[in-house]
Amino acid sequence: MRVLPYALAATAIMTAPLAGADQQLSIATGGTGGTYYPYGGGLAELINKHLDGYEAVAEVTGASVENMGLVWRGDSDVALALADTVYQAYNGTEDFENRQLDNVRALASIYPNAVQLVTMDDSDIDSLDDLEGKTVSVGAPGSGTELNVRALLDANGIDYDDFEPRRLNFNETADAIRDDDIDAGFWSVGPPTSSILNLATTRDVRLVGLSDEEVSNALEEEPVFAPYELRAGMYEGMDEAVQTIGVPNVLVASSEMDDEVAYKITRLLFEHTDELIDIHPAANDTTVEFSVDSTPIPFQAGALRYYEEVDADVAEKQRR
């Protein structure tokens, strides 16, 4: 039995349909302090509002790595995950070695994540090298954040032995920085994210940018990384743009999902993007062009049908 987040569980109990009324769709997201949860909740709202015969609910999860397993096992119908996690799961590499999830397919790439390193404004941390000897949150266990952080650090000659790692989720990381329990923390999430926004209103914090060399090293390490700039003013006290790297986020489903359902969800996503933007600004990047430019694995057959209908430039690797 799936465990719903408290607020959603309460709603589900109050409004549960009669047996057989609607087809239930589970959307695996992430923690409540990130972008996956509000975005997934927004998608659930679109489904409930516009797709007759379906009822969707967004579920709190441990994010990317866990979500891939949920879709693979059929415990979730749709999930959000970072592109590198999706790529590794589909190909059976890295953390998915010896357990290739070959039934995973993409519906769309929906927006880019940005790796964000946050510290106190008066901290002496100005680069990745300055993390040496510090206490640093690297993301929740098994999260896409930790996978991204590990790849970024490895590419720049830094490992966990060089500092004290803490595996905290987004809200826990923000609280630990606020309480001076850690020196810095990483987020890999669509900016701006609520946990950093809230932290920046209560404490003077600073985002640490990556150097050109650090970005270049990361791009060589991980093919799904891309240069990304956090715009000035994104968070309170952020007066200048900050250079970092980004990773696309992918909406995934099983190859065994009914093709018509996959088609309808994909069409809904792009035809009602304005409603998603009202829920979270990350949806500004939810476009057909971004999706076909960024998706690292094949599209689900129903999704592919939609892209072909709108004459999108789908790559051969996305058709398999």
| pLDDT tens-digit readout, 99-134 | 999 999 999 999 988 999 999 999 999 999 999 999
Compute the distance between CA of residue 232 and CA of residue 171 in angstroms, rounded to an integer: 23
119 in the Ramachandran plot: left (φ > 0), alpha (ψ -120 to 50) or beta? Answer: beta
Task: Provide the pLDDT confidence category of residue 270 given band limits of 50, 70 and 90.
Answer: very high
Query: What domains sit in the chain, N to C, each tagged with a CATH number?
Result: 6-111+250-318 (3.40.190.10), 113-247 (3.40.190.10)
Cα distance between residue 320 and residue 300, in whole Å = 9
pLDDT value for 20: 52
Q: Nearest CA to 55 among 40, 42, 44?
A: 44
**Tens digits of residue pLDDT in 301-315:** 999 999 999 999 999
Residues 180-200: pLDDT tens digits? 999 999 999 888 889 999 999
**Residue 18 clears pLDDT 70, i.e. is over it:** no
Q: What pLDDT is recorded for position 161?
A: 97
Q: How confident is the model at residue 264 (pLDDT cuts 50, 70, 90)?
A: very high
Whether the bond into 192 is cis, omega within 30 of 0? yes
- Which tokens sit at 107? 């519906």
Beta-carbon contacts of residue 73 (< 8 Å; ≥ 6 apart): none
**Whether the predicted model's global pTM rises above the 0.85 cut:** no
The contacts of residue 122 (CB under 8 Å, 6+ apart) are 204
* pLDDT averaged over every residue in the chain: 91
Res 237 pLDDT > 50: yes
> Could you read off the pLDDT of 142-179 as tens digits, one per residue?
888 998 999 999 999 999 999 999 999 999 999 999 99
In the predicted structure, residue 17 carries a pLDDT above the cut 60:
no
How many residues comprise the chain? 320
Q: Using DSSP, state whether 298 is helix, strand or coil.
A: coil
